[in-house]
Amino acid sequence: MLYDLIPWVVGFCFLVAGCGAGSPPSSLPEKGKSSSVEKKRIEPVKGTEKKDSGKKEENEYVYDPTGKTDPFKPFIQLSPVREVARNVPLTPLQKYEITQLKLVAIISTPEGSVALVEDSLGKGYFLKKGTRIGKNDGKVMKILKDKVIIEEMYQDIFGQTKISEISLVLHRLEEGGES
């Protein structure tokens, strides 16, 4: 039974020895000392902080964004190529997508060919070479015997302006059938 108490006694001795048998910490000011002694203690500490702050300024990193991409700018521009501030109002043909229009007729004249397109409501519009058409600033480039060639400008995913060539083809009525 005596051997069972030895670990308890040794543990109690360690507990008593570690419970503050030393001097109190010196961080609390003593009442008997003057304020000039306290100022002397504080000043050397500030002097070392000034030296450290000078070293921090030398090692401070400065970001240079020259030649780097802006992380907040979108990769793909979804805006059309046309100018933002446009003084000329849009024509009715510029309010439609080219795929919404149907080529109905082509008329050949000595001054040049004229094409007739129709919207989904059946309203007809005349096209000449140079007529603006479509939402993406399309322009009629050629009117041939059986089709109209339109060029549209667009931006690819890299922001470069590209030109797309679109053809409206004239569908002829066959004998005994409709288009």
pLDDT of residue 121 exceeding 70, the answer is: yes
Question: pLDDT digits over 41-95, tens only?
Answer: 555 544 445 555 555 556 788 888 888 888 888 777 666 555 544 577 888 899 8
State the pLDDT at residue 129: 93
Q: 162 and 155 in contact (C-beta within 8 Å)? A: yes
Measured at the alpha carbon of residue 64, what is the angle toward residues 58 and 65, in degrees to the nearest 5?
165
The full set of domain ranges for the chain reads: 92-169
More confident of the two residues 136 and 35? 136
More confident of the two residues 70 and 23? 70
Q: 106 and 114 in contact (C-beta within 8 Å)? A: yes
State the pLDDT at residue 62: 86
More confident of the two residues 167 and 20? 167
More confident of the two residues 35 and 167? 167
Torsion of CA 51, 55, 58, 62, to 10 degrees: -110
More confident of the two residues 115 and 48? 115
Which class would CATH give 92-169? mainly beta
Question: Of 91, 119, 109, 105, nearest to 148 (Cα)?
Answer: 105
